[in-house]
Amino acid sequence: MKNKKIIVLIVSLLILIALAFIIKSKIAFSPTSEIIENSVSENKNATSTSSAENVGSTESSRPSPTNISKINPLKDEAWNLFQTYLEFNKNKNLEGVKSVVYKISNVCNTEKPSNDCINRMSLAYFYGAQLNKDSFTNVWGDNKQIILATDFYDENEASTTTRYRTIIYFVRDNNNNLKMLSFNPINGSNLNNGNYTTDEIKQKLVTYTEDNDQDGMADYQEQCKDTKENSGCVKTDSTLRDTDGDGLWDGIEFIIGSL
């Protein structure tokens, strides 16, 4: 009788191990672990279901994410340039930095780096070196620009809540060379909790940070809701990547300063 119980116990354990192995295998091959990438035409409202180099349709709608393999030419090109940019900053190589950026900052627009410029390069390397390529699950690009963005993160503290993502912007110059435009390790919004409920805080932060047209600029900001009336803010269409139709997305143009 005792031996029979032992046999039953062993069989039960083997069944549990087999079930665990099956469940683990299904999770490991889940499509949600793949990188999401959108390929678009020169209009920011375009959608594509083909490869990264192909031009999509011109339907006025939010781009539809498409699962692709982890081999992503746009992401690789942008990330490699970003690593070169970081290496130049690490070595305080001002001429090197100038060669890979779209526009050098005023503080570094000199023949030799000033102390302020050196501090700026140190900070750029410090924040950039902590970033991981695999974290950038959102890759948006076409023949004029590329944006790498992580998903949004939430950080809760006693009195404040923050929703942010890390985002890197690239743009091509007149010679079709990809250039670093900007990177922001903490792109998002911070809210004092006050008397808000948890659900109210979450909803407000989503409203302040959501970027539904995926142009690198929050919808709230595109609608000039983050500025005072008569501030000179130029509204753009938060449902279109390229409001003026010139081929550059609204978020890219905002950073360049042409909006």
Q: What is the pLDDT of residue 1?
A: 53
Both 118 and 22 in one domain: the answer is no
Both 8 and 108 in one domain: the answer is no
Both 2 and 107 in one domain: the answer is no
Q: What is the pLDDT of residue 28?
A: 31
Contact 38, 215 (CB under 8 A): no
Q: Residue range 137-148: average pLDDT?
A: 97
Q: Residue range 196-204: average pLDDT?
A: 93
Q: Residue range 168-181: average pLDDT?
A: 97
**114 found inside a domain:** yes
Q: Residue range 111-140: average pLDDT?
A: 96
**142 found inside a domain:** yes
Q: Residue range 46-66: average pLDDT?
A: 33
pLDDT above 80 for 52:
no
Both 20 and 107 in one domain: the answer is no
Q: How is 208-253 classified by DSSP, letter by letter?
A: HH--TT-SSS-HHHHTTTTS-TTS-PPP--TT-S-TT-SSS-HHHH
Percent of the chain with pLDDT over 70: 72
**197 found inside a domain:** yes
pLDDT above 50 for 165:
yes
**183 found inside a domain:** yes
Residues in Cβ contact with 35 at an 8 Å cutoff, skipping those fewer than 6 apart: 67, 68, 69, 70, 72, 75, 137, 139
Both 129 and 29 in one domain: the answer is no
Both 91 and 15 in one domain: the answer is no
The chain-wide mean pLDDT, for the chain, equals 79
Q: Residue range 97-120: average pLDDT?
A: 95
Number of domains in the chain: 2
Two structure tokens written together for 57 = 């349709």
E strand intervals along 91-213: 138-141, 145-149, 153-156, 160-172, 178-192
Both 10 and 117 in one domain: the answer is no
Residue 60 CA to residue 29 CA, distance in Å, equals: 34
Give 37's strand partners: 66, 139
pTM for this predicted structure: 0.72
Contact 258, 246 (CB under 8 A): no
Residue 213 CA to residue 254 CA, distance in Å, equals: 15
Contact 153, 165 (CB under 8 A): yes
* Tens digit of each residue's pLDDT (9 = 90 or more) over 24-43: 333 232 222 222 223 222 33
**38 found inside a domain:** no
Both 141 and 234 in one domain: the answer is yes
**43 found inside a domain:** no
pLDDT above 80 for 113:
yes
Both 136 and 23 in one domain: the answer is no
**50 found inside a domain:** no
**40 found inside a domain:** no
Q: What is the pLDDT of residue 71?
A: 77
Both 91 and 9 in one domain: the answer is no
pLDDT above 70 for 200:
yes
The 10 Å CB-count burial string (b at 16+, else e) for 43-79 is bbbbbbeeebeeebeeeeeebeebebeeebebbeebb
Both 238 and 158 in one domain: the answer is yes
Range of the domain at 12: 1-33
Residue 152 CA to residue 186 CA, distance in Å, equals: 10
Both 21 and 94 in one domain: the answer is no
| Distance of alpha carbon 94 from the chain centroid | 26
Residue 128 CA to residue 170 CA, distance in Å, equals: 15
